Amino acid sequence: MSDSPAARAEAVKQHARELGFDLCGIAAAGPIDPEDRLGAWLASGYHAEMDWMARTKDIRQDVSLRLPGVRSVVVVARNYYHEGRDPAPGQGKVARYAWGRDYHKVLKKPLHGLGEFIKTMETGAQCDYSIDAQPYLERAWAAKAGVGWIGKNSLVLNQDIGSYFFLAVVATTVELQPDKPVIGRCGTCRACIEVCPTQAIVADGVMDSNRCISFQTIENRREIPIAVSDNLEGWVFGCDLCQEVCPWNRFSTETDDPGFAEREGAAYPDLRELSEMDEAAFDERFAGSAIRRAKHAGMQRNARLLLGEE
Ligand code: B12
Ligand code: SF4
Ligand code: SF4
């Protein structure tokens, strides 16, 4: 290996840009959660029924359990923003992140491409990857890598592109020059806390999934508690309210990733049609979409609630 960590870091960022990522930052591997914020969140029960968050606590806090010898964590971000519209009568709202093709699928190839590039930098180099579903504290890594700051709505915000982006991670045994965290710029703003119709943001940067429309409409397999179901504000899958009001999202621009282009019927689905759709039709309509995460039964439940039938 001939290049310096700084030169290698610059090459990684350049390659990330060529692969279409909007942001790229680097953190030195090491303890990511020394204050045990994840432990406190779990102890408060804010993970609701997401037991997998508790089961994977140790590995989420220690990346070396995934990749022994890890030295650097590269965090990339990809913009998925679309301008919203007013839904027509009878339509539900879907969070923007699910308007296009499933991001896990879209980002896999470029992320692994970045890893393959990093592997060429050192003989025997290894990489491990995360796009949402792997046990990484992606937002904490993004903050450490200077990709943005963690806002009061608990999302990572970047002063140039706002918060409508996916995060993804390549951890590697290669030493790369780390970036510095950026200073948080929420200031005295509390717009996200105030807009949340279910008061899910319980402290700055901390949210209670039990009260969050996103958790309830996507992850909950049971009945939605009345405190949330009475306040869905038209959301049939996910929720963007705490991003829509964020002043930093004034700078958001339409995504140029064809993978995230709006699919027909995905953004504002007809609630009656959704509530009557059988499983085969659901599978066909939402093939390759992140909406599948809520499953046929979950989407029917959500649609019926919005129609006032449950
Ligand atoms: C579980 C989960 C959820 C749950 C719980 C949300 C939550 N706040 O944790 C539910 C289903 C509710 C959810 C909803 C959404 N999610 Co989600 N979710 C995740 C997942 C899988 C894990 C998050 C997690 O670790 N939570 C546990 C808590 C303790 O962690 P945390 O809030 O991130 O807090 C840590 C840091 O904030 C840190 N911290 C706090 N302050 C500071 C300050 C500094 C300086 C540092 C270093 C650290 C730090 O301490 C905590 C522990 O380390 C991640 C993917 C991943 N693997 O990380 C995606 C992820 C966070 N989700 C994402 C998205 C897009 C959403 C939604 C916007 C989707 C939607 N439109 O409906 C909503 C937003 C709701 C909200 N306001 O948070 C994106 C966020 C992208 C971004 N710009 O930040 C992620 C990163 C997925 C991805 N790969 O792109 N999500
Ligand atoms: S996603 Fe919606 S329900 Fe969840 S914290 Fe944000 S505004 Fe509240
Ligand atoms: S709405 Fe305001 S407080 Fe909330 S994340 Fe954006 S800038 Fe921060």
Tell me: do 144 and 285 sit in the same domain: no
> Distance from CA of residue 85 to its chain's centroid?
22
Q: Structure tokens of 42?
A: 């779990």
In a domain, 179, yes or no: no
Q: Read off the pLDDT of each residue in 130-148 and give the average, rounded to a whole number.
A: 98
198 and 228 in contact (C-beta within 8 Å)?
yes
Over residues 191-211, mean pLDDT: 98
> Quick check: CB of 159 below 6 Å from ligand 3?
no
Q: What is the pLDDT of residue 251?
A: 84
Angle subtended by helix axes 103-119 and 5-18, to nearest 10: 150
What is the residue with the minimal CA distance to atom 6 of ligand 3?
246
- Ligand 1 centre distance from Cα of residue 154 (Å): 6
Assess whether 138 and 225 both reside in one domain: no
Q: Are residues 108 and 160 in the same domain?
A: yes
pLDDT at 10 over 90: yes
Total of domains in the chain? 2
Q: What pLDDT is stored for residue 280 in this prediction?
A: 97
| Residue 90 is assigned to a structural domain of this protein | no
Are 122 and 226 contained in the same domain? no
| pLDDT at 173 (0 to 100) | 98
> How far is it, in rounded angstroms, from Cα 310 to Cα 306?
8
Whether residue 70 is found in the same domain as residue 41: yes
What are the pLDDT digits (tens) for 205-218? Answer: 999 999 999 999 99
CA gap 163, 250 in Å, rounded: 10
Give the model's pLDDT for residue 310. Answer: 75
169-192 residue pLDDT tens? 999 999 999 999 999 999 999 999
Amino acid 2: pLDDT: 57
Q: What is the Cβ-side half-sphere exposure of residue 70, based on CA atoms within 13 angstroms? A: 24
Query: Is residue 137 in contact with ligand 2, taking CB distance under 6 Å?
Result: no
Whether 256 is a known active-site residue: answer: no
Q: Which two tokens stand for residue 225?
A: 């508690």
pLDDT score recorded for residue 193: 98
Centre of ligand 2 from the C-alpha of residue 1, in Å: 47
Q: What is the pLDDT of residue 1?
A: 55
Same domain, 166 and 267: no
CA of 189 to the centre of ligand 3 (A): 6
Q: Does 159 lie in the same domain as 56?
A: yes
In a domain, 178, yes or no: no
Interval 100-108 mean pLDDT? 97
Where among 107, 138, 172 does a domain terminate? 172
23 lines ligand 3 (CB under 6 A): no
The two three-digit tokens of residue 141, written as one number? 């890594």
What average pLDDT is seen over the chain?
97
Looking at the structure, do residues 77 and 219 belong to the same domain, yes or no? Answer: no
Pairing of strands 72-79, 201-203: unpaired
If you ran DSSP here, which 8-state letter would residue 158 be given?
Answer: B
Computed over its alpha carbons, how large is the radius of gyration of the chain?
A: 20
- Residue from 66, 139, 157, 201 to probe ligand 1 pocket by mutation (most atoms less than 8 Å from CB): 139
140, 172, 204 - which closes a domain: 172
DSSP conformation class of 130: E
Structure tokens at 194: 């105030």
- pLDDT tens for 231-278 read 999 999 999 999 999 999 998 999 999 999 999 999 999 999 999 999
Range of the domain at 47: 5-84+97-172
> Catalytic one among 33, 132, 204, 270?
132
The total of other beta-carbon atoms located within 10 Å of residue 129's CB is: 19
